[in-house]
Amino acid sequence: MMILFIIVPIFGAVTNSAGNIPSALTDTVATNAIMTSFFCALLATLLIFVIGIPLAYILSKHEFPGKKIVDSLIDLPILVPHNAAGLALLVILGRTYPVGSFLSGFGISFQDTIFGVVVAMAFVSSPFMIRSAQEAFSAVNPAMERSARSLGATNFGVFFHVTLPLGLKGILTGCLLTWARSVSEFGAVVVLAEIPMTAPVYLSNVLTTGGLNAALAVTGLLVIIAVVVLMIFRIATSKSAKLVF
C-alpha cells in the first residue's frame, strides 16, 4: 500500500504529461529554472557540508553543556512552515533590515539573488545532512578511533583517516537528501529570492498563469529528472561505499 501511495501519483503525472514533455524540454525558461535549481542546490549542499559535518561530529562524539538544546534546534527548520522560514530569513537578510543592509554595503545581497536562493535552500535542508552524518559518525566503532590515537594520530588525523572514511556512506546519503530537498524547496525560496527563478517557483507561476495542462508538462519533466538523478546518486553512493570498505 505504501509503494502504491508513492508510485501512483508519480505515474499519473508522467502519463498525463507525456505528450507535452518535449515542449517543456524546448522551453528555455523551464530548462534555465531547472538548471538554476540544480546549481543552487549543489551550492547549498556544499555549504551545509562545510559547516554541518563538524557539528554532526561534535554532537555524536562529545558531551558539553546545552547539548540537548543544540540537538533539538537542528530539527527546527523541518518543523517551521517553510514560508515562515523564508520570512524569518527575510527579516534578517532583507535589504531594509540591519544585517542585510550592512552586507549590502559590501555588495552582498540575499533578496532576489542567487545567494538568497542558496541560503533559503540550505536553511530548510540542513537537518538532513546533519542527522545523516551524526548517525554515520555514531556508528563508527570508538575502539578504532582509540587505536589510531594510541598509534600517535592527532584528533584531526583520526577524523580524516578513520571516522570520516568509515562514515562516508551515511554522509553521501545526507548529501543526496540535502540536495534533493533543496531542489524541491519552494516556500522559503519564493519569499526570500523569487529571482532567479527555480523550478518549483517556475512551476507555480505556470500553474497560476497557464492552468493545469501547462503545469503538467513541467511536472512530468521534473519527475523524470528526479528519478534519473536519484538512480545516479544511488549507484554512485553504493560504489563509493564499496571503494571505502
Cβ atoms 227, 216 nearer than 8 A:
no
Average pLDDT of the residues in 174-184: 90
| Mean pLDDT on 30-35 | 89
Give mean pLDDT, residues 199-210.
88
Per-residue pLDDT band for 230 (boundaries 50, 70, 90) equals confident
Q: Identify which of 69, 83, 49 has the alpha carbon closest to the alpha carbon of residue 177.
A: 49
Percentage of residues of the chain with pLDDT beyond 70? 96
Closest CA to 30 of 178, 190, 204: 204
Q: Which CATH superfamily is domain 28-244 in?
A: MetI-like (1.10.3720.10)
State the Cα–Cα distance between residues 53 and 15, nearest whole angstrom. 40
C-alpha span between 124 and 128 (Å, rounded): 9
Does residue 199 carry a pLDDT above 80?
A: yes
245: pLDDT strictly greater than 50: no
pLDDT at 54 over 70: yes
Cα–Cα dist 43/210, whole Å = 31
Q: What is the mean pLDDT of the chain?
A: 87
Distance CA 134, CA 111 (A): 32
Instruction: Give the least confident one: 20-29, 115-124, 193-202.
Output: 20-29
CA angle 56, 61, 62 (to 5 degrees): 100
> Which of 93, 77, 95, 107 has its CA nearest to residue 181?
77
Global confidence as pTM = 0.86
Q: According to the 3-state scheme, what is the secondary structure of 118-145?
A: HHHHHHHHHHHHHHHHHHHHHCCCHHHH
Alpha carbon separation from 189 to 60, 89, 125 (Å, rounded): 31, 10, 12
Given a cut of 80, whether residue 48 has pLDDT beyond it is yes
Higher per-residue confidence, 47 vs 30 = 47
Query: Which pLDDT band, with edges at 50, 70 and 90, does 149 fall under?
Result: confident
The distance between the two most distant Cα atoms of the chain, rounded to a whole number of Å, is 66
The enclosing H or E element of 62 equals none
pLDDT at 239: 61
Q: Domain extents for the chain?
A: 28-244
pLDDT at 211: 82
Per-residue confidence (pLDDT) for residue 240, from 0 to 100: 54
The mean per-residue pLDDT over the stretch 204-219 comes to: 83
